[in-house]
Amino acid sequence: MPRFKLTIEYDGSRYRGWQFQREAATIMGKLMDAVKEVYKISDYELYGAGRTDAGVHALGQVAHLDIDSAMPPYIAMERLNEVLPSSINILEMVKVSPRFHARYDAKHRSYVYHISRRRTAFGKDYSWWVKEPLNVAAMADVTHHFVGMKDYKSFGAPEKEGESTLVKIDHLKIFEVDDSILIHIIGSHFLWKQVRRMVGTLAQVGMGKLTENDIDMFFREYSTLPAKFTAPPSGLYLERIYYAGDALNEEPSWLINIHKH
């Protein structure tokens, strides 16, 4: 059966995450509805590179679609986008090898988190307004503690009980753009809520409520504190999925300018 790779962007603010749920609106569910409407086929498989939680957005989620159809992918993409809600958009659709797997072939994943320094009329669903002043230099000074292969058991949980909590973070950098603070993270994979807890912890450092020693302790001993600092989903964006041969881009391809004003 032919396999197609889909690159998808979406506004996750009104969805219960990526994964299909019978009783709730999800990104995957809306894509499945569109596939059925466009292809008039019920025998297909759609598989995402990773799950995003309720309220989390994507600039470059990847999925593969197995479907027995001769419809050219550029026509299929156009028709799918016509029936998808405006909050979900397929950026690219290409035929790939049947051996390609959106999730298992992924080498790295990158996220961007958007913190706003000010109240904004347009950003509630797309950023986290931190009312207290943040010392970005202090936040940047502790980022090295997160980089490398580390045990992130204090920051998240694996999808399945008993799985490893070791995660390799390749890149973590903080950018300031006008009234926005952008935290860019690239890693091998991520545990459930890991990125949001990392961001929340960094914010606590920026507020002067945590020290570098506290960060070091979270990696040396299990702690439930990072869970209490979990940043809201509204500011989180799955930026890109990397596959073999892709060069890591350490400058975030940030597309949120309309939300900063």
**175-223 pLDDT, tens digit each:** 998 899 999 999 999 999 999 999 999 999 999 999 999 999 999 999 9
Whether the predicted pLDDT of 260 surpasses 50:
no
Whether the predicted pLDDT of 94 surpasses 90:
yes
Whether the predicted pLDDT of 143 surpasses 80:
yes
Q: Would you tell me how many other CB atoms lie within 10 Å of the CB of residue 52?
A: 24
**98-139 pLDDT, tens digit each:** 999 999 999 999 999 999 999 988 788 999 999 999 999 999
**40-81 pLDDT, tens digit each:** 998 999 999 999 999 999 999 999 999 999 999 999 999 999
Active site residues: 53
Whether the predicted pLDDT of 261 surpasses 80:
no
pLDDT at 254 (0 to 100): 61
The arithmetic mean of pLDDT across residues 31-36, rounded, is 97
pLDDT at 127 (0 to 100): 95
pLDDT at 161 (0 to 100): 79
pLDDT at 37 (0 to 100): 96
pLDDT at 152 (0 to 100): 97
Whether the predicted pLDDT of 253 surpasses 80:
no
pLDDT at 185 (0 to 100): 97
Q: Are 69 and 2 in contact (CB under 8 A)?
A: yes
Q: Can you list the domains of the chain with their CATH numbers?
A: 3-96 (3.30.70.580), 108-259 (3.30.70.660)
CA–CA distance, 179 with 146 (Å, rounded to integer): 25
